[in-house]
Amino acid sequence: MKNSREICADILYKVFNQNSYSNIVLKNELNKCDLNSNDKGLITEIVYGTIKYKYTIDIILNSFIKNGINKIDEYILNILRMSVYQIKYLDKIPNFAVVNEAVELTKKKKSIGASKLVNGVLRNYLRNLDKKYYNDKNLVEALCFNYSFDKWLVKLFINQYGQEIAERILSGLNKRPAVTVRVNALKVSYDEAYNKLVEDGYNVEEGYVCPEAIVINKGKSIELNPLFKEGLVTVQDESAMLVAPSMDLKDNMNVLDLCSAPGGKTTHISEVMNNTGKVRAFDIYDNKLKLVKSNARRLGIKNLACEKMDASILNENLKESADAVLIDVPCSGIGIIRKKPEIKYTKNLKGLNELVEIQRKILINASTYVKPNGTLLYSTCTLNKKENEDNIRWFLKNNPQYSIEPLYYGKLDNFIYTEEGCVTILPNEYMDGFFITKLKRQW
């Protein structure tokens, strides 16, 4: 049977070397293994921590490996990475235990010779814990090392937000995300759901900003709880939870969600409309639409229909058909690094720029589907202004029939309200980085 360190190494190999999604691989591996909750918690901590701090860890390892990390066997490299993470960032595991575990795992998976290399590298690191790995007079180098982000991303944040906010973003993206659930008012009251979670042994608190949110600080997987299984609550970040209530929704409206999967915002729209009217959920992939349907069934949603469609291609049949349209457009996802830390290493500047063209096509198409006096809600889970404010300015310049209707969620230190009325949400322990703009069609 695999022990916790072997499971960690296997997961890291799949994420770093096979381009798997950390949240999916971790969930699958934890479901398969027969370990107690403490061991599963440690695996989660080591996996996410190692991915989160990979940039910094690789700099450290490069200084102790003669030919650099690129010459090392990939599996062994991941054993070294997770070991350095434990030594540098975790206080609860003695350093000698970390080294011993790494050596034994390398013997088991590779060879005695490889285990000697692992032992030598880690012991050399332990003898040099105070070593400097960057030029502390260089702001970018310091931020890259201390927060473990590639230079291009650190420079992007500094150029777009300035040094102070850029550092807040970097810090926020490294926060451990809380598990937040949205109470389904179609099935249960907020107080009933809250009290039931307390009865079931969860440590909970009211949401940071959303009235339907409950933050779960501690407790077993909520997806195994009857409240989730029976559709009384659903997991959703509070940033995403702001979208549906911002759309001026009323009972019996016709609403389109053009990029709906996996259905969190879509089903929230249905809940806000009290299961009345018609919500049409579109996505480009059939398998993703299955997720939307599954979520809708669990939550008791009756007014939702799923249809396959590429939102970047104009659908003449939808012109001026909707009272409100949501476009949570495909984006770089930089704002959700807290939950998917591998995004730090799977994105690049070229890829970000290529997304803008798709986003603008969707924005233009969606604008034709809105009835006069209707609402178009644009949202992303990125903090790249080229995908956010720049797209909105471009759109308004070419579409005078639309104007921004400013949104206000309260005076919170992680909310930035632009003069035009756009909202950027900076990441913190409660919320993902996010962007929301509400557009009104005048004629």
Mean pLDDT for back-to-back runs of 10 residues, the chain (443 residues): 92 96 93 88 96 98 95 97 98 95 97 97 97 95 98 98 98 96 98 98 97 95 95 98 98 98 98 98 96 98 98 98 98 97 93 94 98 98 98 97 98 96 97 98 96
- Please tell me whether residues 153 and 197 are part of one structural domain: no
Rounded Cα gap, residues 283 and 52, in angstroms = 30
Instruction: Count how many domains the chain has.
Output: 4
Does 221 appear as a known binding residue? Answer: no
Neighbour count for residue 189 (Cβ, 10 Å): 11
- Please tell me whether residues 15 and 83 are part of one structural domain: yes
- Please tell me whether residues 355 and 416 are part of one structural domain: yes
pLDDT of residue 306: 98
Does 332 appear as a known binding residue? Answer: no
- Please tell me whether residues 149 and 55 are part of one structural domain: no
0.85 cut: is pTM over it?
yes
pLDDT of residue 33: 87
- Please tell me whether residues 228 and 247 are part of one structural domain: no
Does 300 appear as a known binding residue? Answer: no
| Residue 52: both structure tokens together | 């989160």
Is 414 within a domain?
yes
Rounded Cα gap, residues 178 and 316, in angstroms = 42
Rounded Cα gap, residues 421 and 408, in angstroms = 8
**Any idea what the CATH number is for the domain that residue 355 is in?**
3.40.50.150
- Please tell me whether residues 29 and 143 are part of one structural domain: no
pLDDT of residue 7: 96
Is 131 within a domain?
no
Is 133 within a domain?
no
pLDDT of residue 34: 86
- Please tell me whether residues 285 and 388 are part of one structural domain: yes
- Please tell me whether residues 300 and 322 are part of one structural domain: yes
Q: Please write the tens of the pLDDT for every residue from 230-250.
A: 999 999 999 999 999 999 999
Does 248 appear as a known binding residue? Answer: no
Does the active-site annotation cover 381? yes
Is 134 within a domain?
no
Rounded Cα gap, residues 249 and 232, in angstroms = 21
- Please tell me whether residues 88 and 37 are part of one structural domain: yes
Neighbour count for residue 208 (Cβ, 10 Å): 18
Of 210, 306, 331, 381, the active-site residue reads: 381
Is 389 within a domain?
yes
Is 18 within a domain?
yes
State which residues form the domain around 414. 238-441
Is 430 within a domain?
yes
Residue that finishes a domain, picked among 235, 250, 279: 235
Residue that finishes a domain, picked among 235, 257, 276: 235
- Please tell me whether residues 153 and 230 are part of one structural domain: no
- Please tell me whether residues 71 and 155 are part of one structural domain: no
Does 150 appear as a known binding residue? Answer: no
Does 261 appear as a known binding residue? Answer: yes
Residue that finishes a domain, picked among 187, 216, 235: 235
Is 203 within a domain?
yes
Q: How many CA atoms lie within 13 A of 183 on its CB side?
A: 21
- Please tell me whether residues 287 and 409 are part of one structural domain: yes
**Any idea what the CATH number is for the domain that residue 198 is in?**
3.30.70.1170
